[in-house]
Amino acid sequence: MKPLSEPEIRASFVNCSKGAAKRLFVPHDLAERPWDDLDFLGWRDPQAPDRAYLVAELDGRPRAVALRGQGRGAWGTRRGMCSLCLTAHTGGVSLLVAPRAGRAGQQGNSVGAYVCDDLCCPLYVRGRKETGSDARLRESITVEEKIDRMMTNLTAFLAKVTDRSR
Ligand SMILES: [Zn+2]
């Protein structure tokens, strides 16, 4: 994806207030991120690891979502498969919950997904990062197909976050 700047990322949050988007943690090393190998950028707040964020470019413009984890360990992290990139992990998948955009979110409505703990799905899909387990699904599809599938899953997740019709 095209490299994004901090102001661009802050301006693209769909499910939190402008004030919150201004204050939340954005990585300081954006210039060094491997943008060429990223279909979306995901990160956690090092001061508050239950807060996670991701930004993707959809229909030519960046969309960012704020996510809440259920804490590390406990039942929030489990052995399983990422619902975005379908990478299987032994203990590296977290349930992340996004408040829905607008009124629905203010009323406590949210959407959850099990996602790679470090939100590095694009790197797992490309084999640039390993899970450290043998549980990796051996698949015969190409990297491009895996990326397409991941983006389809992400787009569907973001659509649920931004859907104002329910
Ligand atoms: Zn993943």
What pLDDT is stored for residue 130 in this prediction?
85
What pLDDT is stored for residue 136 in this prediction?
52
Distances (CA, A) of 165 to 52, 63, 105: 25, 19, 13
The total of other beta-carbon atoms located within 10 Å of residue 63's CB is 20
What pLDDT is stored for residue 77 in this prediction?
55
Tokens for 157, please give them.
């997740």
DSSP bridge partners of 57: 62
Quote the ligand 1 centre to 164 CA distance (angstroms).
Answer: 26
Sequence-ordered list of residues with C-beta below 8 angstroms from that of 8, at least 6 positions apart, any chain: 62
Quote the ligand 1 centre to 109 CA distance (angstroms).
Answer: 23
Rounded CA gap, 129 and 134, in Å?
13
Rounded CA gap, 136 and 111, in Å?
26
Rounded CA gap, 2 and 135, in Å?
32
Distances (CA, A) of 37 to 40, 46, 111: 9, 23, 27
What pLDDT is stored for residue 164 in this prediction?
63
What pLDDT is stored for residue 90 in this prediction?
75
Quote the ligand 1 centre to 108 CA distance (angstroms).
Answer: 25
Q: Running along the chain, 166 residues long, what does each successive block of 10 average in pLDDT?
A: 97 96 97 97 94 94 92 58 90 89 91 94 93 64 95 96 74
Sequence-ordered list of residues with C-beta below 8 angstroms from that of 17, at least 6 positions apart, any chain: none
Quote the ligand 1 centre to 5 CA distance (angstroms).
Answer: 23
Quote the ligand 1 centre to 20 CA distance (angstroms).
Answer: 26
What pLDDT is stored for residue 73 in this prediction?
52
What pLDDT is stored for residue 49 in this prediction?
86
pTM over 0.85: yes
Tokens for 150, please give them.
């991941």
What pLDDT is stored for residue 133 in this prediction?
61
Quote the ligand 1 centre to 23 CA distance (angstroms).
Answer: 26
Tokens for 73, please give them.
């360990």
Note whether 48 and 117 are within 8 A (CB): no
Quote the ligand 1 centre to 93 CA distance (angstroms).
Answer: 8
What pLDDT is stored for residue 26 in this prediction?
98
Instruction: Tell me whether residue 99 is exposed, middle or buried, using C-beta atoms within 10 angstroms of its C-beta: 0 to 12, 13 to 18, 19 or more.
Output: buried
